[in-house]
Amino acid sequence: MMPSQTYSAIVWRQFRKSRLATVSLLFVVVLACVAIMAPLIANDRPLIMRDAQGFAAPALHLPARLRGVDMQLFTQNPPPGVWLIMPPIPYRPGSYDLGAVLVSPSRAHLLGTDGDGRDVASQIVWGTRISLSVGLIAVGLAVFIGLILGALAGFYGGWIDIVISRFVEVMLCFPTFFLILVVLAFVGPSIYNIMIVIGITSWTGTARLIRAEFLRLRSREFVLAATVSGARHLRIMRRHLLPNAIAPILVAAPFGVAGAILVEASLSFLGFGVPPTEPSWGSMLAQAQRFMDIAWWLTLAPGFAIFATIMAYNLIGETLRDAIDPNLKT
Amino acid sequence: MFSYVIKRLLLMIPTFFGIVVVTFAVVHLAPGDPAELKAQSAREAIASDQATQQIVAETRALYGLDKPLVVQFGLWMKRVVTLDFGTSFRDHRPVIDKIGDALPITLTLNVLTILIVYLVSIPLGVYTALKPRGVADRAATVGLLVLYSLPSFWVAMMLIVAFGGGGDWFNWFPITGFVSDHADLLPWYGWVANVAWHLVLPVACLTYGGFAFLSRFARTAMLEVIRQDYVRTARAKGLSEWCVVTKHALRNALIPMLTLMGTLLPALLGGSVIVEQIFAIPGMGRLGFESVLARDYPVIMAIATISAVLTLLSILITDILYAVVDPRVTFGKR
């Protein structure tokens, strides 16, 4: 007899069995750290510096005495008596350097520079922010909408179910990517609109899963017990049904994040994404098209970044799916 | 059977109504007054001042935007039902003609893609299901996940460099268009060969991602079936493994694969915007994208509506087929 374990502990143990998935999880965590700490990783301002007026951390907060100073000149030839530490990638993603156009990967530019002399590595680092935030927030929104509509349909049934199920069917009939393009063309492409539009076009999966689970569970004894003891509907749904129905959603979520990241990259690739001033992996690839034959690093770096991120999320989803499969529990 | 079809047809009516409502709502997102559109086009530097005025005037006239909302909806409903989507703002050709040109191209591309995906995925799924968690199964899982995660536009770019003469490697395949310019002069087999030659790279980009999804699905379906008693019976009476797998297991495992067609159809009809755009194939995806860029509302609305309605019809056909191949499906139950 095994010592009793919580469900999540069993799932976690199953998950850890897959080395690839563990590595993917680690990769996703590192990616999140890179996104959060982008200003400390790729920046043209020093991390820490010391001059006559004492210590400062310009990467986080530019002190008044440095405003208007040419950072490139300042950091490459610091005035005497000034001591500074630069971030690992000493370039800002938007800083043009027409003296260093299409430089191949070297010690100065780890992943080379693009057609405008912008450092590729720096853009990749800052691009993480866009990809991850679009992925996570869009899926969060989709899951939120799907949970509410699916729960209502599954719990109450009847005409509420009919209306919501028809609505899901209507949404499934539209080619999603085209619908996203059209709505974005009308409301104007911006990172927030992209998140919202992806969110409101991709909730159908969650809604169907939750509806099915709620339908299955709502006639069970524990729900009856909760009803008899006077719990309100909202409480039954939240405390009794949702925890029992959430597993398939947790499996679908990583796939959803991967999908949303891909959609954002595709939109940016088509020029429908975030404004070109903000570095996004998709728009980097679009700009790389012009130099495909002479600058391989421009195509390789952002493409691989998109691929690795999507792959990591898909692997996590795939492993989670196996881990919650009751047939495999030993 | 007959009553089942009738029931499904009746269930379609509210969904069709929903499609019309959603497209109507999307039309209303379109800037209806000049100032708004001008602000938007200034932001994106698309249309000139005069063009903006013209688009707004034409939009108003086409959708009757100055009339009450109910009347507008009635007008839109009438357009959808009579398939009268007006003429394109760009070249003033009837929208239906433009779609008539683009749809066969996208269908060719995507039917070919789906065929290849099914032909590769089903054997692969069956094979991996025979020894679940074996070496082949694990290798296939990871390999397919890698393929599934590769963004198609990245692969397209690399294929163009490698095989399309975009780099210093091979110049084997054309990288733009559906067919060469004067291919109509060729005999029909020459024309087909020319199209096939043009479609190698785009179809390659469209297929590889589907392998993972479909072969996983085939594997799961096969695993379900192979545990059944009748498979054990077939084995027990001494049939060869090949016979058990193909005759007894596979046939039943294929049934759920059929429903999957329903989920693949929106993409089939809507076309792949990205791949058609990269390879300059004048199909639905490219037509849609160019119309979005040019604010060609009649074309946009027509594509959205027509693909949705065709998808709805195909889901219906899939459901009926499902009932035909699997006699256990009770016709009354939905």
Residues of A within 8 A of B273 (CB-CB) are 177-178, 181, 266, 270
Helix (H) / strand (E) element for A191: namely: helix A191-201
| 3-state SS, residue A252 | helix
- The secondary structure of A24-65, three-state, reads HHHHHHHHHHHHHCHHHHECCCCCEEEECCEEECCCCCCCHH
Cβ contacts below 8 Å, chain A against chain B, sum to 132
The stretches in chain B having pLDDT less than 50 are 34, 332-334
Q: Do A289 and B157 make contact, defined as CB atoms within 8 angstroms?
A: yes
Residue pair A89/A125 in contact (Cβ under 8 Å)? The answer is yes
CA distance A273 to B44: 12
Report pLDDT for B168: 67
State mean pLDDT over A260-279: 85
Report pLDDT for B333: 45
Helix (H) / strand (E) element for A79: namely: none
Residue pair B254/B266 in contact (Cβ under 8 Å)? The answer is no
Q: Do A167 and B167 make contact, defined as CB atoms within 8 angstroms?
A: no
Joined together, the tokens standing for residue A184 give 């974005």
Report pLDDT for A262: 92
CA distance B148 to B162: 20
Residue pair A252/A63 in contact (Cβ under 8 Å)? The answer is no
Joined together, the tokens standing for residue B201 give 């790279």
Distance from CA of A297 to the nearest CA of B (A): 12
Hey, how many other C-beta atoms are within 10 angstroms of the C-beta on B46? 16
Q: Do B146 and A311 make contact, defined as CB atoms within 8 angstroms?
A: yes
Distance from CA of A307 to the nearest CA of B (A): 5
User: Does A257 score more than 90 pLDDT?
Assistant: yes
Report pLDDT for B49: 61
Longest dimension (CA), chain A: 80
Distance from CA of A166 to the nearest CA of B (A): 6
How many residues comprise chain A? 330
User: How sure is the predictor about A259, in pLDDT bands with cuts at 50, 70 and 90?
Assistant: very high
CA distance B22 to A177: 15
Of A166, A183, A188, the CB nearest to B14: A166
Question: Which one of B21, B103, B154 makes the best mutation probe of the A interface by having the most chain A beta carbons within 10 Å?
Answer: B154
A270-311 tens-digit pLDDT = 888 777 778 889 888 888 888 877 777 888 889 999 999 999
Residue pair A194/B34 in contact (Cβ under 8 Å)? The answer is no
Interface confidence: ipTM more than 0.90: no
Nearest chain A residue to B275 by CA distance is: A266
Helix (H) / strand (E) element for B251: namely: helix B251-270
Q: How far is CA A241 from the centre of its chain?
A: 28
Distance from CA of B206 to the nearest CA of A (A): 14
Residue pair A100/A119 in contact (Cβ under 8 Å)? The answer is no
Sheet containing strand A48-51, edge to edge, reads: A54-56, A48-51, A83-85
Report pLDDT for A329: 44
B220-276 tens-digit pLDDT = 888 888 888 888 888 888 888 888 888 888 888 887 777 777 667 776 666 688 888
Residue pair A166/A204 in contact (Cβ under 8 Å)? The answer is no
B92 φ, ψ to 5°? 55, 25
How many residues comprise chain B? 334
Supply the DSSP symbol for B87.
B
User: Does A67 score more than 70 pLDDT?
Assistant: yes
Distance from CA of A81 to the nearest CA of B (A): 47
Q: Do A188 and B288 make contact, defined as CB atoms within 8 angstroms?
A: no
Residues of A within 8 A of B149 (CB-CB) are 258, 307, 310-311, 314
Residues of A within 8 A of B270 (CB-CB) are 174-175, 177-178
Residue A189's beta-bridge partner residues? none
Q: What b-and-e string marks burial along A108-118, b requiring 16 or more CB atoms within 10 Å of the CB?
A: ebbbbbbeebb
Longest dimension (CA), chain B: 81
Residue pair A98/A116 in contact (Cβ under 8 Å)? The answer is yes
Residues 6+ apart with CB under 8 A from B248: B230, B231, B234, B239
Residues of A within 8 A of B269 (CB-CB) are 175
Report pLDDT for A327: 56
Hey, how many other C-beta atoms are within 10 angstroms of the C-beta on A32? 13
CA distance A321 to A315: 10
For every residue of B118-179, DSSP letters joined together read HHHHHHHHHHHHHSTTSHHHHHHHHHHHHHHHS-HHHHHHHHHHHHBSSSSS-B-S--S-SS
Closest CA to A121 of A93, A95, A161: A93
Q: Do A186 and B30 make contact, defined as CB atoms within 8 angstroms?
A: yes
A168-210 tens-digit pLDDT = 988 888 888 888 888 888 887 788 999 999 999 999 989 999 9
| Cα Rg of chain A (Å, integer) | 25
- The secondary structure of B167-226, three-state, reads CCCCECCCCCCCCCCCHHHCCHHHHHHHHHHHHHHHHHHHHHHHHHHHHHHHHHHHHHHH
Q: Do A314 and B30 make contact, defined as CB atoms within 8 angstroms?
A: no
Residues 6+ apart with CB under 8 A from A288: A114, A295, A298, A299, A302, B157
Report pLDDT for A284: 87
Distance from CA of A263 to the nearest CA of B (A): 10
Joined together, the tokens standing for residue A314 give 């898909």
Q: Do A314 and B309 make contact, defined as CB atoms within 8 angstroms?
A: no
Report pLDDT for A21: 87
User: Does A251 score more than 70 pLDDT?
Assistant: yes
CA distance A217 to B312: 30
Joined together, the tokens standing for residue B307 give 């693909």
